[in-house]
Amino acid sequence: MTTVADDKLIKIAYLYEDLMNTYGDSGDVKILRYLLNKDGYEVQVDNVSLDAKFDANDYDFLFFGGGQDYEQTVVAKDLLRHQSTMKDYIEAGKPMLAICGGYQLLGSYYKMIDGTVIDGLGILPLHTVFKPDSRMIGDTEFETEFGPVKAFENHSGRTYFDDKDKLKPLGKMIQGYGNNPDDGVEGMRYKGVIGSYAHGPILRNENIAKAVAKMIIDNHNARLATPAQA
Ligand code: GLN
């Protein structure tokens, strides 16, 4: 039970916060909380971890951070329980930010260093292959529709789009690798979903942070306007 009126309470689901939080990605959620508070909203962040009961459509925003390979294997199995509600949420155009390992798990699969293939949610037509010989580490800069974004990356997974009509890159590389060393692009946009390899956290870039905060508020208002299902 909350004391805050529903119209001023924004609910964020932080997927596997305890397992998927490499390189300070939780900073993205802190920045969003700050911006939303400034706009007069209270923010509730729920850690949706292993075995949790979860319906994506109860939330205004989903956040999924990066993770190491081992944690990804554990998370990937549990995540499949939420395939249908997350697909509904995403296809309805609701907002989500997925970074690095979280971004990878929205796709069809992640092929690991030993050749093992982890199934992703299969919601987005993309896949990722781990290449051990050339980890992509360093500062990145890329141009997006929100303006230039500066961050850093640290991953061995190379992500490729399987349907380039459906998925659009988040940005064009100025510095660094982004999705892979071949395409010259960083991250992904599909409806309300932003996927990215950018840590830093990415939302320290005010331009994109404000755009995401606006997406959340718009979705929150739309959720309030829709009568709850019986
Ligand atoms: N383990 C994945 C990779 O190396 C993701 C890393 C991350 O999320 N930081 O590609």
CA 33 / ligand 1 centre spacing (Å):
25
Q: Which helix (H) or strand (E) holds 213?
A: helix 206-225
pLDDT band at 2; cut points 50, 70, 90:
very low
pLDDT in tens, 166-180: 999 999 999 999 999
- Cβ–Cβ < 8 Å for 74, 229: no
Catalytic residue ranges:
100, 199
Give yes or no for residue 15 having a pLDDT over 50: yes
pLDDT at residue 130 in the model: 95
Buried residues in 28-41 as b, exposed as e (16+ CB within 10 A): bbebbbebbeeeeb
Does the annotation flag 158 for ligand binding? no
Cβ atoms within 10 Å of 76's Cβ, excluding its own: 19
pLDDT band at 132; cut points 50, 70, 90:
confident
CA 99 / ligand 1 centre spacing (Å):
9
Could you identify the atom of ligand 1 that is nearest to the CA of residue 99? 8
- Which residues on adjacent β-strands are paired with residue 15? 48, 64
Overall average pLDDT of the 3-23 stretch: 90
Angle CA 13–211–206, to nearest 5: 100
Q: Which residues line ligand 1 (CB under 6 A)?
A: 22, 66-69, 72, 100-101, 154-157
Question: What's the whole-model pTM score?
Answer: 0.96
Could you identify the atom of ligand 1 that is nearest to the CA of residue 69? 1
CA 135 / ligand 1 centre spacing (Å):
10
pLDDT in tens, 35-46: 999 999 999 999
Domain 6-225 has CATH 3.40.120.10: no
Structure tokens at 177: 């690798």
pLDDT in tens, 115-130: 999 999 999 999 999 9
User: CA dihedral defined by 62, 68, 72, 75, rounded to 10 degrees?
Assistant: -60
Name the closest-CA residue to atom 10, ligand 1.
Answer: 157
